[in-house]
């Protein structure tokens, strides 16, 4: 079914005219996926699709209000990507991937539906910017890698970025890109793996990045970058966004590292 795309403007400012965030709705499968779009400052260098970790369920309202995951590292830094010259599209998951109890459909991140949704959004954003990139953090790594492996043509991202990603399998309870996304040889675009050297989350250790890089045999380049410093983890919250796992205190450094890398690809 052909996707229906439309934008609802959130605010109108008086003189001078300034671009504002808007909500893009993509209709498919009898439901809707909402995307919060932040326009770039100046001529766009590209477009970035920001995919949160955790459940990935933002519960974005038509008004632009985010009901969940406001503190996620990619969600809270979306304006930084726009200020760096990128169309910043922060994605909520489609309605049919959500459960009534506030949960999400099991395994949606490595399924065909979300990959198709991200492909539609990628194709749409090409009307605004010549290159479109997927960026996912933590559990969002599965969504990014899955889409990169499945999509083709104009729906295929030009590069992908994974930050604090769930890359290698650590135990039977948690999914990983290594175990769930097949074939990894289908990822044939440049890849950036960004980690914090002191990330204490057992599912996203910095030591996993070189192991994962070795699996991406068809990618033309795979770069690893490490950050250090920032706000330390609180006990029991090593996998949360308010510590090293979420680059707390290093938001500007994360955005600059990622956007400098993306601009260097052009």
**Looking at residue 257, which CATH number applies to its domain?**
3.40.50.1820
- For residue 13, pLDDT over 50 is answered with no
| Gap between the Cα atoms of 118 and 105, Å rounded | 17
pLDDT per position as a tens digit, 126-149: 999 989 999 999 999 999 999 999
Nearest residue to 184 via CA among 223, 141, 140, 138? 141
How much is the average pLDDT of 13-33?
75
**pTM reported for the whole predicted model:** 0.92
Task: Find tokens 């099991």 and name the residue.
Answer: 106
Residues in the chain: 266
At 47, is the pLDDT very low, low, confident or very high (cuts 50, 70, 90)?
A: very high
Domain count, the chain: 1
At 34, is the pLDDT very low, low, confident or very high (cuts 50, 70, 90)?
A: very high
Q: Cis bond leading into 183, ω under 30°?
A: yes
For the chain, list the strands marked E by DSSP. Answer: 4-9, 22-28, 31-38, 46-51, 86-91, 132-137, 159-163, 191-196, 222-227
Q: Cis bond leading into 16, ω under 30°?
A: yes
Nearest residue to 146 via CA among 180, 123, 170, 192? 180
DSSP state for residue 155 in the 8-state scheme:
G
Neighbouring-strand partners of residue 136: 51, 162
- For residue 5, pLDDT over 80 is answered with no
Task: Find tokens 């590069």 and name the residue.
Answer: 159
Nearest residue to 162 via CA among 193, 197, 208, 206? 193
Q: Tell me how many degrees the CA angle 150-154-157 measures, rounded to the nearest 5.
A: 55
Radius of gyration of the chain (CA): 17
- Per-residue pLDDT, 9: 37
The three-class DSSP label of residue 201 is: coil
Which has the higher per-residue pLDDT, 102 or 83? Answer: 83
- Per-residue pLDDT, 46: 96
Domain membership of residue 73 as a residue range: 4-265
Q: Tell me how many degrees the CA angle 112-77-248 measures, rounded to the nearest 5.
A: 105
How much is the average pLDDT of 89-108?
95
| Gap between the Cα atoms of 86 and 92, Å rounded | 19
């Amino acid at each position: 079914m052909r996707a229906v795309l439309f934008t609802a403007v959130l605010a109108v400012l008086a003189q001078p005219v300034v671009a504002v965030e808007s909500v893009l709705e993509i209709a498919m499968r009898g439901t809707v996926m909402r995307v919060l779009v932040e326009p770039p400052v100046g001529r766009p260098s590209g477009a970035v699709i920001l995919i949160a970790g955790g459940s990935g369920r933002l519960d974005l309202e038509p008004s632009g209000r985010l009901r969940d995951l406001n503190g996620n590292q990619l969600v809270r830094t979306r304006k930084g990507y726009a200020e760096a010259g990128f169309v910043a599209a922060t994605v909520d998951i489609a309605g049919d991937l959500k459960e009534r109890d506030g949960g999400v459909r099991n395994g949606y991140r490595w399924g065909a539906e979300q990959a198709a949704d991200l492909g539609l959004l990628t194709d749409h954003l090409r009307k605004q910017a010549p290159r479109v990139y997927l960026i996912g953090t933590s559990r969002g790594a599965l969504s990014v890698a899955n889409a990169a492996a499945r999509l083709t043509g104009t729906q295929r991202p030009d590069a992908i970025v994974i930050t604090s990603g769930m890359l290698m399998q650590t135990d039977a309870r948690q999914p990983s890109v290594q175990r769930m996304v097949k074939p990894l040889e289908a990822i044939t675009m440049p890849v950036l793996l960004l980690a914090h050297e002191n990330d204490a989350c057992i599912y996203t250790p910095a030591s996993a990045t070189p192991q994962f890089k070795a699996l991406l045999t068809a990618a033309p380049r795979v770069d690893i970058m490490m950050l250090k410093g920032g706000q330390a983890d609180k006990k029991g919250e090593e996998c949360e966004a308010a510590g090293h796992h979420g680059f707390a205190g290093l938001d500007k450094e994360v955005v600059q590292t990622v956007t400098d890398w993306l601009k260097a690809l052009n």
